Structure 1
Amino acid sequence: MDVLLGLFYLALILSFFTLFSFKAPYGAKTMSALADAAVASFLVEAVYGALFGTILDVPFLNGIAEANGSLAGVAAAGMVLLRLGASPVNSLLIALSMMQFGILPGFIAAYLISFLVRYIQEKVNGSLDVFVVAATALPIAYAIAALIAPIIDSALAQIGTIIEAASQSSPLFMGAVLGAVFTVVSTAPLSSMALTAMMGLTGKAMAIAGLAIFSSATANYLLFSRLKIGTREESLSVALEPLTQAHLVTANPLPVYVTSTLTGAISGMYVAMTDLVNNTPGTASIIPGILAPLADNPPHKVLIAGAICLLCGVAVGFLTSYIFRNQRVYTTNDIIED
């Protein structure tokens, strides 16, 4: 029952973000801003916290991890407002008020208030718009975040707990599902880092998500380079962080998503059979996916698992690039021309 309930809630979250991305006004642009905020906060937290903080025990660098990770709500609000046309000063004005909130409340509050901020900027001349925004939009944005934060945080934490429990009771099945789902999400306009952080995912479930996505590095690189989807630089970039090439991913969904699904499912099942854990939420990305588990497991076990996951990615990358060798692909130049 926990397995079905966990999958049902996960499907609801993914459905909401997918519908928002494609149907809401400025949805895709807003989701791109959320991904950027996750990189600026959770990616830095994962790398500096796991590698420099826990493993190397450098307090100064660990402080960077704590600072960036704790300001995810500020980052989300600021990026969303900037991306949707708010001026830098108005974006920062509202973003700073999100300091005590998580990434999703900051994201939602900024998106809803962005329409009012842009209206004020159009109607109020000169720099007076700053004072009007501070007097009207700022308290409204804070009230929205304060109202929804307890509900969202509680619901997402509960979902994360259910998924973690399900990964223990049905490890192979959940390994395949979590690996496939989060690897696909990592290449979509959504952010796997933001999603796992909002859910507070830890333990075996987080290890599955992180290492499954890590395995996609070689798969994505081989697919992009062998099918000529991207240049050498673009192929390397998608291997390091898929969100940087979101435009190419969405332009070539079939080969990319099939590759991600197979790679994630196979690697996820393998990780589920190990005793690896990852107690750092929000590390569902290629680089944090291999670094964060080093803080919670014997390093040699993590490196062996990482090597096997990369080999899975190599096998799937060669397989799918052969299957889709005659598939019409779209490059950056094609997208620009269209």
Structure 2
Amino acid sequence: MQMLIGGGTLLLLLVAMILFLKFAPYGKSGLEALSGAACATFLPQAFLSYVIGGIFNISLMQHIGETLGSLGGVAVGVLTCLKMKVSPVYAVIIGLVLYDFSLLPAFIGAYLISFLLKFIDKKVPEGLNLIVVILVAPAITYGIATLINPGITMMLQGISNAISTVGDSNPYLLAAILGILMPVTGMTPLSSMVVASFLGITGNPMAIGALTCMGASFVNGVLFKRLGIGDWPKSISVGIEPLTQIDQIVKYPLQLYSVNALVGIVNGCIVTFSGLIIDAKGVATPVAGPIVLFGFNSPMESVITIVAVAINSFVWGFVFSIIIKHFNLINIDFKSLFKGKSKSSSN
């Protein structure tokens, strides 16, 4: 029952984020702010605290990393307001108010208050608007975040518990689930880093998230090059960071998402078998994730697993590119499928 509830909650969360992206005002900008905040806090924490500070035992770097990792609420508050074209001064005020909150409640609070800030800036005379913002916005923002924080915490905890239950009972099933989820969300504005941070996964599941995202970069690089999706620089760019080529990816969703999901399952099982761990949150990213591995595992085990995932991804990417080209599947999309169905039904 716990797995069903947690899985259903995760599905609803992902659907809600997709709907937000599609229909909410400034939806794409909001999710970009969320992803940017994760990059600005979790990545520096992982590198400085666990890689440089941990491996070389430099306490200053560990302290700096932990400090950055604790400022997720501030980062997402500032970035969300800036993405929504709010005054930088207002953005900093809102970000500082959200110091004690995690990413999601802070994001919702900053997103909602941004509309009020824009209204105040438009309607209140210049010079008086800053005073009105100071008197009104911080309290409202803090109140919104405080009100929704318990519910969001309970929801994310339920998802995290469900993932732990699946991992305890069948680690390879969890590997398959994360092997699909992380690479695919990493190719959308939802961002695999944000999803990983929401789930709160660490240990072997986080290692799965990091290396399956890395594997997806190899798969996408091969598919872009072999299928002629963009030019050679685009193939390199998608291999470094899929989100840089999101405009190309959305043109071929069936081909790219399905191949990455299938290869991700295999890569997830490889990482599960290796037993590697990452005890840092939100590092499901192609380049930084594999590097952070070395802060928690022996160099030899890390290198062997990274090479195995890279080779597996490259080979399967090449094989699927042959299949797609041979059967001319590159031209299939959702619209053509639905047109085909409507024609057959009318006949």
Unpaired segments ≥5 residues, structure 1:
330-338
Counterpart residue number, 1:334? none
The residue number in structure 1 matching 2:218 is: 218
Q: Residues of 1 paired with 2:67 and 2:235: CA distance?
A: 32
Distance 2:128 2:314 in 1: 57
TM-score, structure 2 normalization? 0.88
Alignment correspondent of 1:252:
252
Structure-2 separation of matches of 1:270 and 1:86: 46
1:303-318 alignment runs, 5 A limit? 303-318=303-318
Cα displacement (A) at 1:6? 3.9
- C-alpha contact 2:9 2:155 (8 A) present in aligned 1: no
3-state SS of the aligned residue for 2:40?
helix
1:47 and 2:47 aligned: yes
Report the counterpart of residue 276 of structure 2 in structure 1.
276
Pairing of 1:15-26 with structure 2 (within 5 A): 15-26=15-26
CA distance in 2, matches of 1:231, 1:34: 30
Change (3 A) 1:62 1:240: farther
1:93 aligns with 2:93: yes
**How far, CA to CA, are the matches of 2:137 and 2:249 in structure 1?**
36
1:53-92 superposed Cα distances (whole Å, 9 cap, x missing partner): 2122222322332222111111111111111111111111
1:239, distance to aligned residue in structure 2 (A): 1.9
Partner residue in 1 for 2:159: 159
1:273-309 deviation per Cα after TM superposition (whole angstroms, max 9, x unaligned): 2322221111111123212332332221121111111
Going from structure 1 to structure 2, the CA distance change for 1:181 and 1:140 (only over 3 Å counts) comes to same
Distance 1:256 1:118 in 2: 39
Give % identity: 36
Provide the C-alpha distance between the structure 2 equivalents of 1:63 and 1:322, rounded to a whole number of angstroms.
Answer: 49
- The residue that corresponds to 2:175 in the other structure is 175
Residue matched to 1:263: 263
Q: Secondary structure of the equivalent of 2:186?
A: helix
Report SS of the residue matched to 2:128: helix
Deviation, structure 1 residue 167: 1.5
Alignment of 1:229 with 2:229, yes or no, is: yes
Q: How far off its partner does 1:101 sit?
A: 0.8
Matches within 5 A, 1:135-150: 135-150=135-150
CA gap of 1:128–1:230, structure 2 versus 1, over 3 A, is farther
Q: Give 1:177 shift.
A: 1.3
1:3 CA drift (Å): 4.4
Distance 2:250 2:195 in 1: 19
For 1:139-178, what per-residue CA distance to the aligned partner results, in whole angstroms no more than 9, with x for missing partners? 1011111222233223313321320231221122221111
Checking the alignment, whether the CA contact within 8 Å between 2:166 and 2:173 is kept in structure 1 is no
Cα distance per residue 1:206-257 (max 9 Å; x no partner): 2222221121121122222333334444333322222333333334322321
Q: Which amino acid aligns with 2:290?
A: I
Distance 1:319 1:52, change over 3 A: same
Matched residues in 1 for 2:241 and 2:69: separation?
A: 18
Output the CA distance in 1 between the equivalents of 2:43 and 2:331: 33
Task: Please tell me the root mean square deviation across aligned C-alpha atoms, in Å.
Answer: 2.1
Tell me the CA shift for residue 28 of structure 1: 1.9
Letter paired with 1:30: G
List gaps (5 residues or longer) in structure 2. Answer: 333-347
Alignment of 1:277-292 (within 5 A): 277-292=277-292
C-alpha change, 1:248 and 1:96, in structure 2 (3 Å) is farther
Closer/same/farther in 2, CA of residues 323 and 91 from structure 1, 3 Å limit = farther
Mark the CA change 1:37 to 1:323 in structure 2 (over 3 Å): closer, same or farther. Answer: farther
**Most deviating of 226-235 and 278-287:** 226-235
Which residue pairs with 1:203 in the alignment?
A: 203
Query: Any conservation in 2 of the 1:73–1:99 contact (CA below 8 Å)?
Result: yes
2:120–2:133 CA contact under 8 A, matched in 1: yes
Q: How many residues align?
A: 329
AA aligned opposite 2:188 = A
CA contact (8 A) 1:196 1:282 kept: yes
Which position in structure 2 is the counterpart of 1:80?
80
Specify the alignment match of 2:297 in structure 1: 297
SS at structure 2 position matched to 1:187: coil
**More displaced stretch, 263-272 vs 122-131:** 122-131
C-alpha change, 1:10 and 1:125, in structure 2 (3 Å) is same
Distance 1:285 1:157, change over 3 A: same
CA distance, structure 2, for counterparts of residue 53 and residue 238 of structure 1: 30
Quick one: distance in 1 between partners of 2:235 and 2:324?
17
| Counterpart for residue 62 of structure 1 | 62
- Separation in 2 of the partners of 1:270 and 1:49? 27
